[in-house]
Structure 1
Amino acid sequence: MRNLAIIPARSGSKGLKDKNIKLLNGKPLLAYTIEAAVKSSMFDEIMVSTDSRDYANIARTCGASVPFLRSNELSTDTASSWDVVKEVIEGYKNLGSEFDTVALLQPTSPLRTSNNIFEGYKVMKEKSANFVVGVCEMDHSPLWANTLPEDLSMENFIRPDIVGIPRQNISTYYRINGAIYIVRIDHLLKSNDIYNNKSFALVINKENSIDIDDQMDFDFAELLLKIRTQNIKLNTDL
Structure 2
Amino acid sequence: MGGNLAIIPARGGSKRIARKNIRHFAGRPILCWSIEIAQKSGLFDQIMVSTDDEEIAEVAREAGAEVPFMRSGEAADDHAPIATVLREVIGSYSANDRIFDRICCLFATAPFIEAEDLKAGFDLLDNSEFEVVIPVARFAYPIQRSLSRSGAGRVLLNHPEHADTRSQDLAEAYHDAGQWIWLNPAYLSRVQPLLGPATGSVVIDSSRVEDIDTEEDWRRAQWKFERLQQEEATL
Q: TM-score, normalised by structure 1?
A: 0.91
Q: Secondary structure at the match of 2:205?
A: coil
How many residues are aligned here? 234
Looking at structure 2, the residues matched to 160 and 227 of structure 1 have their Cα atoms a distance apart, in angstroms, of 38
- Post-superposition Cα deviations, 1:114-173, rounded to whole Å, max 9, x if no partner, equal 11111110111232321112211112222112433455444x536343223222322110
Alignment correspondent of 1:202: 202
RMSD: 1.8
CA contact (8 A) 2:121 2:202 kept: yes
CA contact (8 A) 2:83 2:194 kept: no
CA contact (8 A) 2:145 2:163 kept: no
Q: How far did 1:43 drift?
A: 0.9
Q: How far did 1:96 drift?
A: 2.6
Alignment correspondent of 1:23: 24
Alignment correspondent of 2:165: 165
CA contact (8 A) 1:110 1:210 kept: no
Q: How far did 1:29 drift?
A: 0.5
Percent of aligned positions with the same letter in both sequences?
29
- Post-superposition Cα deviations, 1:172-231, rounded to whole Å, max 9, x if no partner, equal 100112112111011121243344453211111112221211111111221222222223
Q: Secondary structure at the match of 1:83?
A: helix
Q: How far did 1:12 drift?
A: 2.1
Judged with a 3 Å threshold, the aligned counterparts in structure 2 of structure 1 residues 194 and 151 are, in CA distance, closer, same or farther, namely: closer
- Post-superposition Cα deviations, 1:32-59, rounded to whole Å, max 9, x if no partner, equal 1111111111111111101111110100
Looking at structure 2, the residues matched to 214 and 160 of structure 1 have their Cα atoms a distance apart, in angstroms, of 31
Give matches, 1:101-140, under 5 Å: 101-140=102-141
Looking at structure 2, the residues matched to 205 and 230 of structure 1 have their Cα atoms a distance apart, in angstroms, of 17
Alignment correspondent of 1:2: 3
AA at the equivalent of 2:65: A
Looking at structure 1, the residues matched to 94 and 159 of structure 2 have their Cα atoms a distance apart, in angstroms, of 52
Looking at structure 2, the residues matched to 2 and 197 of structure 1 have their Cα atoms a distance apart, in angstroms, of 25
Q: Secondary structure at the match of 1:147?
A: strand
Structure 1 runs, 4 residues or longer, greater than 6 Å off: none
Judged with a 3 Å threshold, the aligned counterparts in structure 2 of structure 1 residues 82 and 158 are, in CA distance, closer, same or farther, namely: closer
AA at the equivalent of 1:108: T
Looking at structure 2, the residues matched to 141 and 232 of structure 1 have their Cα atoms a distance apart, in angstroms, of 30
Give matches, 1:174-193, under 5 Å: 174-193=174-193
Alignment correspondent of 1:59: 60
Q: TM-score, normalised by structure 2?
A: 0.92
Q: Secondary structure at the match of 1:127?
A: coil
Looking at structure 2, the residues matched to 9 and 22 of structure 1 have their Cα atoms a distance apart, in angstroms, of 12
Structure 2 unaligned blocks of 5 or more:
none
Give matches, 1:47-86, under 5 Å: 47-86=48-87
CA contact (8 A) 1:103 1:180 kept: yes
